[in-house]
Structures are given as C-alpha cells and as structure tokens.
C-alpha cells in the first residue's frame, strides 16, 4: 500500500496524488520509469525520484521510522499493510483520580498474543520499553488524544519512535463516527463479555477501584478481560478499515 502512495512527498496532497495516478502511474517504480509527469516540474520530478529511492530503501530495510512525520496523521493507515505483522495494537486503562493519573493496565496485542502489564502486579516500565522496541507500528483508537500523550507525559521515551496509526482518524475518513464501542457495533463486532457494559457502565476505572477497595480478583479479571477485548478488536477494525479505504481510493 505504501509503495503505491505519493502523499508522503513534499507538496503532494491527496488531489495531486490522484492526478498522478490518473496518468497511469500506480506505484513508485512506475513513477521512476516515467520521464515526465503532468503537473510536476522536471526539477521537482528529480527530487521526488530521490525521495522515492530513499523510501524504497527504508522499506527494504524494514525501517518504519523513515515515515515518521512524512504522512498526514489521517493517512498513516497506508503503512498498515506492510508493517501489520510487526504492529502493536495498544490500549491503556488509567486512573482519573487527579490531574496526573496513572496507568492501571497496559495492554498490547501483536496479532497472535495479548500481553498485559497491571499496576502493582507486573507493570515494569523497563521491561515494557524493551518489549515495545520490537514493533514497527503502533495502532490505537483515539490514541492521539489520550493513550499516546498520557504515556509520553508520564513515561517519556517509553514508546518507540515509530509511526502511530490512530483508527479513529481512519474511521472518520469513512464516515464512521463515535467511540470504539460504537464503531464495533457498526461493524458487527460482538464482545464476548458484556458484563462490564451492563453492570459497570463500561467504566474500567470503576473496576480498578472495586478491586483495590475489596481485594476481590474478580474485578481485576473483568478489567483485564475488558482491556484484552479492546486490543484484540483493534486489529479486527484495522483490517476492515484499511481494506475499505483501499477500495474507496482505488488502490
């Protein structure tokens, strides 16, 4: 997908990218093979050639960092196809006791296994940083507004310097509005455990408080299960959203 994109190049927006594609230039190689592109000067074409060769090397080296800040935030979905096997689907549960707050559960899913670290049980930020370093892409839902800034403010340097694919932005491009639970319903994704929504209003922090107040691990298990479904469903949504966007934009 990324190798069919030109929007990472300076001064190439969605409209100009479509103009390039209408000329029969469908990918990086065909761009390099085309001597002249309508709407692009010879000087700019030479510059873009160099940038595409750089990007191709980054792909060959499996270097997702190259694309940091080169794609608009609403277009990072284009990296998903290439880097999804090394993506971390991430979601945190956090306190809202005060302005600072703290992480109660740090959940990740790699497409095969769920990994969770829980405050006062196994949350080890040094080990977490080592684990996160393995990934080439971070995928969240609304992480740009909550998860990422929350983590970076309290634990600078914890997250790897890799692109972040926020599903909320991608869903909005398709006209799918609402939070994660609303999007799941629109896509027909059913949760295994409906208890949290029915009895606790879908409030994971309430479960944490009940666990800390009572010591009853039943509440901790509910919280962990809730977070696990969050991260697993992120991949289901990502797969559906990216396929839909590819079809919509003729990739």
Residues 144-162: tens digit of each pLDDT: 999 999 999 999 999 999 9
Mean pLDDT value across residues 84-106:
89
Residue 56 clears pLDDT 90, i.e. is over it:
yes
Residue spans of the domains in the chain: they are 2-61, 81-248
Which of the four pLDDT bands, split at 50, 70 and 90, describes residue 250?
low
Using alpha carbons, select from 187, 71, 181 the residue that is nearest to residue 137: 71
- CATH architecture under which domain 2-61 falls: Orthogonal Bundle (1.10)
Query: 1-49: per-residue pLDDT in tens?
Result: 899 999 999 999 999 999 999 999 999 999 999 999 999 999 999 999 9
**Using CA atoms in the order 60, 66, 69, 75, what is the torsion angle rounded to 10 degrees?**
10
CA–CA separation, 148 vs 168, rounded Å? Answer: 13
| 118 HSE (CA, 13 A, CB side) | 19
- Helix, coil or strand: residue 148: helix
Position 142 scores a pLDDT of 96
Question: What beta strand segments (E) does the chain contain?
Answer: 87-94, 103-109, 114-118, 137-140, 164-166
Q: How is residue 130 written in tokens?
A: 């080592």
* CATH 3.30.420.10 correct for 81-248: yes
């Amino acid at each position: 997908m990324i190798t069919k994109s030109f929007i990472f190049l300076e001064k190439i927006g969605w409209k100009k990218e479509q103009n390039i594609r209408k000329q029969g230039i469908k990918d990086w190689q065909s761009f390099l093979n085309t001597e002249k592109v309508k709407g692009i000067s010879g000087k700019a074409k030479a510059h873009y050639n160099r940038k595409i060769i750089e990007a191709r090397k980054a792909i060959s080296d499996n270097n997702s960092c190259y694309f940091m800040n080169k794609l608009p935030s609403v277009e990072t979905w284009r990296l998903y196809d290439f880097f999804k096997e090394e993506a971390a689907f991430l979601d945190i549960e956090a306190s809202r006791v005060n302005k600072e707050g703290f992480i109660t559960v740090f959940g990740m899913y790699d497409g095969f296994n769920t990994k969770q670290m829980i405050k006062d049980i196994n949350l080890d930020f040094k080990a977490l940083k080592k684990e996160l370093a393995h990934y080439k892409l971070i995928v969240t839902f609304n992480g740009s507004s909550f998860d990422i800034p929350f983590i970076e403010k309290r634990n600078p340097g914890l997250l790897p310097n890799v692109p972040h694919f926020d599903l909320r932005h991608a869903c909005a491009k398709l006209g799918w509005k609402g939070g994660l639970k609303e999007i799941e319903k629109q896509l027909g994704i059913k949760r295994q455990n409906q208890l949290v929504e029915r009895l606790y209003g879908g409030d994971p922090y309430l479960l944490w408080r009940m666990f800390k107040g009572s010591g009853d691990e039943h509440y901790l298990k509910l919280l962990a299960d809730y977070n696990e479904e969050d991260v697993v469903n992120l991949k289901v949504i990502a797969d559906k959203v990216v396929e839909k966007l590819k079809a919509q934009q003729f990739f």
